[in-house]
Amino acid sequence: MIWSTGCALSARGTLSLRRMRFVAFGPIFLLTAPASAPCIGKTGPAPSITPLVPAIHKIIDNEMPGLESLYKLLHAHPELAFAEEQTSARLAKELKALGFEVTTSVGNTGVVGIFKNGPGPVVMVRTDMDGLPVTENTGLPYASKIRIRDKEGREVGTMHACGHDMHMTCWTGAARTLVQLKDRWQGTLMFIAQPAEEIGAGARRMLEDGLFKRFPRPDFALGLHCGPGPIGHVAYAEGLLLANVDTIDITVRGKGGHGSAPHTTIDPIVLAARIVIDLQTLVSREINPSDPAVVTVGSIHGGTKHNIIPAEVKLQLTVRTLKDSVRKHVLEGIARIAKAAALSARAPEPIIRVEVDNYTPALFNNPELAQKTVSAFKSVLGADKVKEIAPIMGGEDFGRYGRAGVPIFFWFLGTQDPSQVKAAHEGGPPLPSLHSDLYYPVVEPSIRTGVLSLTVGVLNLLGK
């Protein structure tokens, strides 16, 4: 990793990076930060944090009963993307009770809370809010029983299968803790509750609605996400952490007819099957093996009856890449393969739609901010509970805040029973993945560790 930096005082009185560049060997990544990006300075924790740790723990102890109740309430009442009406109202109420200046309906259902506490940096802390169209099967006493209609009008179960209920609870706990410690730090808190992370649209919508123009522009942005690691642990990466995510819909068109007379039709089911098979060669035969990429066909729908050849079949794809050049190649390749298959069958050209609104760019953690925050985590959680990991192919639109020029740091919160994690690593039953109808975080100490890590991360940047 190669760095070239130069610092100067900004108008706000903080240090700024004139230029930032890093190279990660293997895939090559180049980043250039705007002149206003702050220079983070020392990589160690702020001297004021260590004496505060007992007070932080005491506050969290006092808040835990209320936070557990809030978590279970949120878990039992999930809402889908851009429909987080009750959820956003509850989070706005929490911030107002703490003295934040609260603005609602930012980027549709988003919430922004500002707490000014003297001169100093602006630190943004983000949570997401939306659940998933998954019917919960955890058997928990507080399991979601909510059923709603999705945008296609279908009745679906709804579940916090990705841990956003835990994120909101930790976010609330950190806000409560920081306000109670306001005599020990100075600067501005910017707590945002973001909609629609699951469809990759919430961060973009909030930015387009003036998140960094209508409100103080943050010097730093922090966020966390539930992960499969053991409780009490956190995991992170410096630089690249998460992938580009694209969502693609393909309508394969044919010519319908009777199942007994296929020669009078152009069968889109056979054509769709050919496309699915051919897509498997896109990564395995066209992409450099050292460049990770994933093309998954997650849904295929066509036909209504045994003896009817339909006129069309619909495919839904997710694409994951780490480099923008690989993303371009894969997206062009999908269109090429689908069109070539149609041409070979004398079928109408397929309709291919890349969902621009749902695109999520790769997430790059600011390495300097990562080093500084991780140093604080190790001093409070213990070095053995802070693990550096390789980039993964999941996606998160938190990365858009970094692309908007704000240094960001995003980490994973361990939420699983250590004995089950150990067993899974040794070949035992696999852990339920995120988005599974069986996934749920162990409440304690997941909440405690999440609140502690968010609080420490902020104090490390604002501590007096």
Q: Mention every residue, 6+ apart, whose C-beta is less than 8 A from residue 144.
A: 75, 76, 77, 78, 131, 136, 157, 158, 159, 160
- Tell me: the pLDDT tens digits for 278-300? 999 999 999 999 999 999 999 99
Sort 352 into a burial class: Cβ within 10 Å, 0-12 / 13-18 / 19+. Answer: middle
Burial letters for 14-25: b for 16+ Cβ neighbours within 10 Å, e otherwise?
bebbeebebebe
pLDDT at residue 31, rounded to an integer: 36
Q: Which residues of the chain have pLDDT under 50?
A: 1-37
Domain boundary assignment for the chain? 1-39, 51-241+363-462, 244-358
Are the beta carbons of 212 and 218 closer than 8 angstroms? yes
pLDDT at 12: 35
The model's pLDDT over 79-131, given as tens digits with 9 standing for 90+, comes to: 999 999 999 999 999 999 999 999 999 999 999 999 999 999 999 999 999 99
- Tell me: the pLDDT tens digits for 227-266? 989 999 999 999 999 999 999 999 999 999 999 999 999 9
State the sign of the Cα–Cα–Cα–Cα dihedral 280, 285, 286, 290.
positive
* CB neighbour list of residue 317: distance below 8 Å, 6 or more residues apart: 247, 248, 249, 250, 279, 295, 296, 297, 298, 334
Burial of 291 (0-12, 13-18, 19+ CB in 10 A): middle
C-beta of residue 414 within 8 angstroms of C-beta of residue 447: no
Q: Provide the terminal-to-terminal Cα distance of the chain, rounded to the nearest Å.
A: 32
- Which tokens hold the place of 377? 């985590």
Please tell us whether the domain made up of 244-358 is placed in CATH 3.50.30.10.
no
Please tell me the distance from the alpha carbon of residue 277 to that of residue 292, in angstroms, as a whole number.
19
Supply φ then ψ for residue 199, to 5 degrees: -105, 10
pLDDT (0 to 100) of residue 20: 33
Could you tell me whether strands 220-230 and 312-321 are parallel, antiparallel, or unpaired per DSSP bridges?
unpaired
| Spatial separation of the C-alpha atoms in residues 391 and 240, rounded to whole Å | 6
The pLDDT assigned to 184 comes to 95
User: Per DSSP, what are the bridge partners of residue 258?
Assistant: 308
Q: Tell me the CA distances in angstroms from 446 to 60, 149, 315, 422, 435, one per residue in order.
A: 12, 31, 38, 17, 18
pLDDT of residue 50: 86
For residue 160, which phi and psi values (nearest 5 degrees)?
-85, 75
- CATH for 51-241+363-462? 3.40.630.10
